[in-house]
Structure 1
Amino acid sequence: MSPITVAITIIAYFILLFTVSWLAGRKTDNQGFFLGGRKQPWFLVAIATMGSFLSGVTFVSVPGMVADKSFSYLQMVMGFVVGQFIIAFVLVPLFYKMNLVSVYQYLEDRFGARSHKTGAWFFFISKMLGASVRLFLVCLTLQLLVFEPFHLPFLLNVLVTVLLVWVYTYRGGVQSVIWTDVLKSLCLILSVVLCIVFISSELKLGFKGMLQSISNSSMSQVFFFDDVNDKRYFFKQFVAGIFTMIATTGLDQDMM
């Protein structure tokens, strides 16, 4: 795919993103900005949360892990599922019952203002670090596909990307972010499907042949029970997945 085609695709995507953001946030107030008005359809919030949790970093980096760790990451994903149930049946009802605007407000109500500020600062620092890594990986990809072929500097790439992200979120707050994250989630799913289709087509395998090739590969192993000292050991991955999900989603202001 030529750099011009990639650039046109990205521009069209952002135009659609800005349109969705404007339509979603044009009649928002303070409650809509911070809480989405507490009346967003649950299935939209679920799709948006999924896309926010996965992100483009997962799309770019996780497939490369298979070469070294096989499909062991799926053991952690199973833990994610258990963690989501704990969030849904323990944390979410608690936050709604207390009518919280911030999940860290619970810390203040329970333990005092100092714990509230500590939790909020840890959230802020972790989000800044995480967002920096995600932005860096996205900009590396854009630099390779678009900016470098046109001999444009990496700094310009970063500035343009940050500006575009800021523009589509600053007006509508959470209400806009939910709808734009739904769009991003659907685009992410579509991209995964298209990648599978094109890769299998280029390898002349077909869907059945692709599944057969994967099952015959040594990298397709999912479960690891043999060595307790192995990083891929099932219970390490599974339990880590549960607590990772609770910490990164259930106790995260951005997600909740």
Structure 2
Amino acid sequence: MSPTTIIAIIGLYFSLLMVVSWFTSRKADTETFFTAKRSSPWLLVAIGMIGASLSGVTFISLPGAVGAPHTYLSDSGDLLYNKNVGFSWMQMVIGFLIGYFVIATVLLPIYYKLGVSTIYSYLGDRFGPQSHKTGSAFFILSRVVGAAFRLFLVAIVLQEFLMDPLGVSFFWTVLITIVLIWVYTFSGGIKTIVVTDTLQTVCMLGAVIMTIYYIMQGLNTDFSGMVDMIQESQYSQMFFFDTGWVDPNNFYKQIISGALMAIVMTGLDQDMMQK
């Protein structure tokens, strides 16, 4: 794909985001900015949270992790080796379902009952202002660090396939990306983000479908043939029971980790729960 085509796609995407931002920010006040007056359509919120929780990092990194070798120590201290990680992350996805059930049945009722605009307000009501400030500070820190890494990854991709051929430095790539993101979120707040996250999810899922299509074309096969190839591949192992508790990919460890990660990274995260 030529740099001109990439620029056209990016320009179209951000133009659409600007239009969304303009429509959603009209007559917006402080309450609209932070809570969207608690009137966002649940379907948009649900779809948007898929894209917000996955992001481009997942889209780029997981395919590489499937074939990555991993080692672990046995109970006796011997170094053991598995050929690849495979689809072991699907075990964690099952754990996510458990975590989301806890969020829906335990955490969300608490937030709605108290009518808080930030989940850290609950810490203030329950444990005092110091807990409120500490929780908020850690949230800001985690958001800054996490967003920086995600931005860095996206900027690397843009630099490799777009900016380098055009002779643009990495500094300007990062700066332009930050400015574009800031412009469409500044005025509309959470109401804008709910809609743009939905758009992001649709685009991401569309990219997944297109990627699968072009992979099939490259392998000269159809969908059923590709499924058969995956089933026969050494990379397709999904469940790890036989390797014991010391294996990082152990089924039970992944289930528990997935549940706890969902509760902490979604249920106790202002960015996700605000939606």
TM-score bracket relative to the smaller structure: over 0.9
**TM superposition score normalised by structure 1:** 0.99
Which amino acid is 1:215 matched to?
Q
- Report the counterpart of residue 94 of structure 2 in structure 1: 78
**1:102-181 to 2 correspondences below 5 Å:** 102-181=118-197
Are 1:183 and 2:183 matched, yes or no? no
- Report the counterpart of residue 227 of structure 2 in structure 1: 211
Structure 1, unmatched stretches of 5+, are: none
Aligned residues: 256
Partners in 1 of 2:96 and 2:272 — Cα distance?
14
Which amino acid is 1:234 matched to?
F
Q: Return the offset for 1:27.
A: 2.4
- Report the counterpart of residue 48 of structure 1 in structure 2: 48
**1:57-68 to 2 correspondences below 5 Å:** 57-68=57-68
Partners in 2 of 1:84 and 1:148 — Cα distance?
42
1:230 to 236, 244, 247: 247
**TM superposition score normalised by structure 2:** 0.92
Partners in 2 of 1:46 and 1:22 — Cα distance?
22
Aligned-residue sequence identity (percent) comes to 47
Q: Is the 8 A contact 1:75 1:238 kept in 2?
A: yes
Partners in 2 of 1:36 and 1:75 — Cα distance?
35
Structure 2, unmatched stretches of 5+, are: 69-84
Query: The residue matched to 1:40 in structure 2 has which SS?
Result: coil
Q: Return the offset for 1:82.
A: 1.0
Q: Return the offset for 1:28.
A: 1.5
RMSD value over aligned CA atoms? 0.7
Q: Is the 8 A contact 1:48 1:179 kept in 2?
A: yes
Query: The residue matched to 1:148 in structure 2 has which SS?
Result: helix
1:242 to 256, 259, 262: 259
Partners in 1 of 2:138 and 2:55 — Cα distance?
21
Q: Is the 8 A contact 1:56 1:138 kept in 2?
A: yes
Q: Is the 8 A contact 1:72 1:224 kept in 2?
A: yes
Partners in 1 of 2:25 and 2:59 — Cα distance?
28
The structure whose RCO (Cα within 8 Å, separation 6+) is larger is 1
Are 1:98 and 2:114 matched, yes or no? yes
